[in-house]
Amino acid sequence: MAFDPVTDYPLGSRRPDLVTTPSGLPLDDVTLAGARAGSLAPDDTRATAGTLALQAEVARAAGRVQLAEGIERAAELTRVPDDELLAIYTALRPGRSSAVDLEAWAERLEELGAGHNAVFVREAAEAYRARGLTADG
Amino acid sequence: MADARRSRRFTAREESELRREVLVEPWPELGLVAADGPADPEPELVVENGRVVRLDGRDAADFDVIDRFLVAHGLDLEVADEAMALPDERLARMLVDVDVPRDALVRLARGLTPAKLARVVGMLDPVELMMALKKLRARRDPGNQAHVTNLKESPALLAADAAEAARRGFDELETTVGVARYAPLNALALLVGSQVGRPGVMTQCAVEERRNLELAIRGLVTYAETLSVYGTEPVFADGDDTPWSKAFLASAYASRGVKVRFTSGTGSEALMGHAQGLSMLYLEARCVSVVRAAGAQGVQNGSISCVALVLAVPGGTRAILAENVLAAWLDLEVASGNDAIASHSPIRKTAKLMGQFLPGTDFVTSGYSIMGRRDNTFGGGNYDADDIDEWLTLQRDWQVDGGIEPIEELEALRVRERAARAVQAVFAELGLPAVTEAEVEAATLAHGSADMPDRDRAADVEAADELLAREISALDVALALDRQGFEDVAEAVVGMLRQRIAADYLQTAAVIEPDGLVRSAVNDPNLYLGPGTGYRLEGERWALLQALPHVVDPRSLGAAVADADAIVEESGPAVPGSDPAEVVIAVGPAFADGLRETIAGLPHDDVLAAVVDGVREAGGSPRIVRILRAADVAFIGYDGAGLSGSGVALGLQSKGTAVIHRADLQPLDNLELFGMSPLYTLDSYRAMGRNAAGYALGQRVGPVPTELDNFARAKLIVRTTLLHAQEARAVVPGAAPVELEIVGSARQRPRSGRLQGSAPAAGG
């Protein structure tokens, strides 16, 4: 059945069939019994990019454009390893990075399939350059 | 020469708690102005070829990092023309007009600049702001968040407090650490405790971002609200962030399954020394605009930790309410402060609270201290464990849902003990330093960490480090609970993992029901359109919030005593007497019959004996009659005086109120009235008897000395009402008075019928 971002929220209650873990385990199979049987791995208990994309649709259908964009960026960031995620955050803090550093992160994000985030980082680099917030600024 | 005299009233007021606080005149250059600062820019938006070239008094070339972020992500140029063209007054009126739906206002806000937002909201008075907040709140049902910490970072106590908070209906629980390395243990204790108290309650641990993200990745926390934003570029940079870094962090959290709420609030820019001469409210409009632009679902605002600074300037309380309204208008979830101590003065801080409490917000406080104040390591505790009954009573008084439910003491003990046992079990299973039986017992009953046994803190922080190193996750916690027989709690923890996977709680203003249903502004929107619409506290919820454990059934108070031994018996109709020394003691219809003691708890037989003694001591001859036609003390006394040979009578109501009357006075006049019945002792009644006899015999009489208790009415008015109702029910209209004789032992006590909680009779 097709996804309706207005009537299918909350996904967990109304459309569990659309939700899986990163390894593909259906939401309904995420149970204590499954955990006992060892079918659940700790790093498998999180939202997939696909689920977050559906949540972004829900936000957009409710008229929340920026929230939708934030969740879309989050969907992309599921593909970014933890240490790099923190490294990019640190790089975006004021005075931490040169324009070149930030461009390198933007390219890395593109490699990881995080195009919206790459645009976001380039936009920051431009604003930082104008406001003297780059390391070389 | 100056007059050096001091008023004792002025000097007494100077000693009050309130006067510890410094109030200042506005000083706009330092940002010490609540709203409408002289340097606040005129609202302005100039768009050329789809590009913003001027925003609130600045050219594009001068845009700071905040302006740039708002232009890139905040302003919806499709509605900006229409919205910015609306006169301020028009928008302000729409905010309070119940016929203008929230959706219409939220749409317009997308195109408003910070200066316009601040200007419009700044036009509303406090009641209008409350109306606007009630209308603009994102989620239909208000909620609340609790703080759970303690000085010893005792895991058993954290778990017990978390469980009690969850059981009391808080939707979110926040902890923090005194020592940073404790974070995983505190997060673990909160997770376990919360799910014992009520499945679905979300938890967070306020620590440094990297550590926080690590806890989130392990599933040990489910939300974060530590992402601070500021209204000027220098303060943002001093906070070591930019709008881009914070927005990226928010998405990073969301990518790891964390519900994210930003933090802002008036006063921070002034406190950090870079307000740029701008008003607090204008700067907050910039903050909440950034929060929405960053893609956050919500914000914790309402001055938060700077609240006392904002309250130092004129209009501070109003500005704080206005900033909550701003956030709600921008379609953000609002956790509306009231967590940091706003004032030393209970009156002042609670007056401030009403701005959020009465309209209701998504989280009325962004941290109600479930512990005593000294255990609140957030450095606050505006309201805490010792104020729970006050909060519950306010909810009951106003018929307002402030998000806290009453529970019975035994139920609190049950969930606290179970949570302490559950965390004990998890610690044992995971090889963490043992939680002892003594800790479980103490955590169940404790007022605070002072009641808790000390732990080996060095061992605890080592174990905390190890917990992270071993990558212990919420799944391990669930399995540990399951192995130790806490299957239902294990199920609840797995339920929280399912929530992470489905990510429904990333939507605006989401909370989780015990059955796992997520309620947010998407599926439970606030559609308030005036009386009869939106969230109303009624039905089962209202029944729950009014049933405080100490509420009593009025029918159980002052019940009649059918089986008590008789004190008096009727001996025929009362006729006028002729003895000039006679004092009639005229009692009410229920006296010594349906009612057996005064409101002060004095048995009626003792009271009668004391009055009789008093009359005799002063040389009078007492005669007792019962007035049946009236329950009012004036008429009881007046009727008695008409029967008295001397013309003087002492009228006595069952609740103990008395009057000395004389036959020639008007019914509502008297010689002496004794209206402070809760304070009277048997000696008082003896003195009344003496005075009555004194009047009868024409002696000089000084009034009976009486004390004054200004709280007597507040304490006893319910009992007064119930006792009087019983007296009134015993009235026989038109019935003639009857003569009474004392029977039985004067010391006999009724076997029942004592008022609950009534004061013991002095010397009785």
pLDDT tens string B362-409: 999 999 999 999 999 998 789 999 999 999 999 999 999 999 999 999
- What beta strand segments (E) does B514-647 contain? 518-519, 568-573, 582-587, 621-626
Q: Are B242 and A94 inside 8 Å of each other by CB?
A: yes
* pLDDT recorded at residue B79: 97
Of B233, B482, B518, Cβ closest to residue A131: B233
Of A9, A27, A35, Cβ closest to residue B523: A9
At residue B563, does pLDDT exceed 70?
no
Q: Which residues of B are catalytic?
A: 145, 147, 174, 225, 300, 339, 366
Confidence at B591, pLDDT banded by 50, 70, 90:
very high
CATH of domain A81-137: 1.10.1510.20
At residue B156, does pLDDT exceed 90?
yes
Averaged pLDDT for residues B25-52: 96
At residue B119, does pLDDT exceed 80?
yes
At residue B708, does pLDDT exceed 90?
no
**Helix axes B102-109 and B77-85, enclosed angle (nearest 10):** 110
How many whole angstroms separate alpha carbon A73 and alpha carbon A78? 9
* pLDDT recorded at residue A42: 87
Chain A residues closer than 8 Å to B497 by CB: 30, 40, 45
* pLDDT recorded at residue B559: 57
Confidence at B751, pLDDT banded by 50, 70, 90:
very low
At residue B191, does pLDDT exceed 70?
yes
Chain A residues closer than 8 Å to B256 by CB: 46
Helix (H, G, I), strand (E, B) or coil at B381: coil
Chain B residues closer than 8 Å to A74 by CB: 251-255, 506
* pLDDT recorded at residue B526: 98
* pLDDT recorded at residue B710: 87
Chain B residues closer than 8 Å to A4 by CB: none
Q: Are A63 and B106 inside 8 Å of each other by CB?
A: yes
Nearest chain B residue to A27 by CA distance is: B498
Confidence at B755, pLDDT banded by 50, 70, 90:
very low
Digit-coded pLDDT (tens) for B592-647: 999 999 999 999 999 999 999 999 999 999 999 999 999 999 999 999 999 999 99
* pLDDT recorded at residue B210: 84
Contacts of B562 (CB under 8 A, 6+ apart): none
Domain ranges for chain B, please list them: 136-545, 568-742
Beta bridge partners of B299: B262, B334
Digit-coded pLDDT (tens) for B292-302: 999 999 999 99
Question: Among residues of chain B, what percentage have pLDDT more than 70?
Answer: 96
- Say if B167 is an interface residue toward chain A (CB within 8 Å): no
Confidence at B1, pLDDT banded by 50, 70, 90:
low
Low-confidence stretches of chain A (pLDDT < 50) are: none
Identify from A18, A45, A86 which residue to disrupt to test chain B contact, counting B C-beta atoms within 10 A and taking the largest count: A45
Domain with CATH 1.10.1510.20 in chain A: 81-137
Digit-coded pLDDT (tens) for B521-530: 999 999 999 9
How many whole angstroms separate alpha carbon B362 and alpha carbon B560? 48
Long-range contacts of B465-470 (CB under 8 A, 24+ apart): B465/B181, B467/B184, B467/B185, B467/B188, B467/B430, B467/B432, B468/B184, B468/B214, B468/B218
Chain A residues closer than 8 Å to B64 by CB: 131
- Say if B249 is an interface residue toward chain A (CB within 8 Å): yes
Structural tokens at position B116: 């316009």
Q: Which residue's structure tokens are 């002095």? A: B762
- Say if B476 is an interface residue toward chain A (CB within 8 Å): yes
* pLDDT recorded at residue B29: 95
Torsion from C-alpha of B695, B696, B697, B700, nearest 10 degrees: 0
Which 8-state DSSP code applies to residue B566? P
CATH topology of domain B136-545: TIM Barrel (3.20.20)
Neighbouring C-alpha atoms within 13 Å toward the C-beta of B447: 6
Q: Comparing C-alpha atoms, which of B763, B589, B627 is closest to residue B686?
A: B763
Nearest chain B residue to A21 by CA distance is: B501
Of A11, A20, A95, Cβ closest to residue B504: A11
* pLDDT recorded at residue B756: 39
Q: Nearest-CA distance from B502 to chain A in Å?
A: 5
Contacts of A23 (CB under 8 A, 6+ apart): A41, A44
Q: Give the H/E segment covering residue B280.
A: helix B280-293
Q: Nearest-CA distance from A104 to chain B in Å?
A: 16
Q: Nearest-CA distance from B320 to chain A in Å?
A: 25
Confidence at B752, pLDDT banded by 50, 70, 90:
very low
* pLDDT recorded at residue B762: 34
How many whole angstroms separate alpha carbon B398 and alpha carbon B421? 38
Averaged pLDDT for residues B576-593: 97
- Say if B491 is an interface residue toward chain A (CB within 8 Å): yes
Distances (CA, A) of B508 to B191, B297, B525: 22, 5, 10
- Say if B77 is an interface residue toward chain A (CB within 8 Å): no
At residue B519, does pLDDT exceed 80?
yes
* pLDDT recorded at residue B555: 83
- Position B277: which residue type? G
* pLDDT recorded at residue B748: 43
Identify from A23, A39, A85 which residue to disrupt to test chain B contact, counting B C-beta atoms within 10 A and taking the largest count: A85
Q: Are A46 and B257 inside 8 Å of each other by CB?
A: yes
Q: Nearest-CA distance from B63 to chain A in Å?
A: 9
- Name the pTM for this structure: 0.93
* pLDDT recorded at residue B380: 74
Average pLDDT over chain B, rounded to an integer: 94
Averaged pLDDT for residues B129-158: 98
Q: Are B494 and A32 inside 8 Å of each other by CB?
A: yes
Identify from B289, B470, B506 which residue to disrupt to test chain A contact, counting A C-beta atoms within 10 A and taking the largest count: B506
Q: For residues B202 and B512, is the Cβ–Cβ distance under 8 A? A: yes
- Say if B237 is an interface residue toward chain A (CB within 8 Å): yes
Long-range contacts of B553-556 (CB under 8 A, 24+ apart): B554/B718, B554/B722, B556/B756
Distances (CA, A) of B23 to B100, B292, B308, B312, B339: 38, 33, 10, 4, 21
Averaged pLDDT for residues B722-746: 90
Lateral strand order in the sheet of B259-263: B223-228, B259-263, B298-300, B333-335
Chain B residues closer than 8 Å to A89 by CB: 209, 245, 248-249, 252
- Say if B68 is an interface residue toward chain A (CB within 8 Å): yes
At residue B561, does pLDDT exceed 70?
no
Neighbouring C-alpha atoms within 13 Å toward the C-beta of A80: 33
- CATH homologous superfamily of domain B568-742? B12-dependent dehydatase associated subunit (3.40.50.10150)
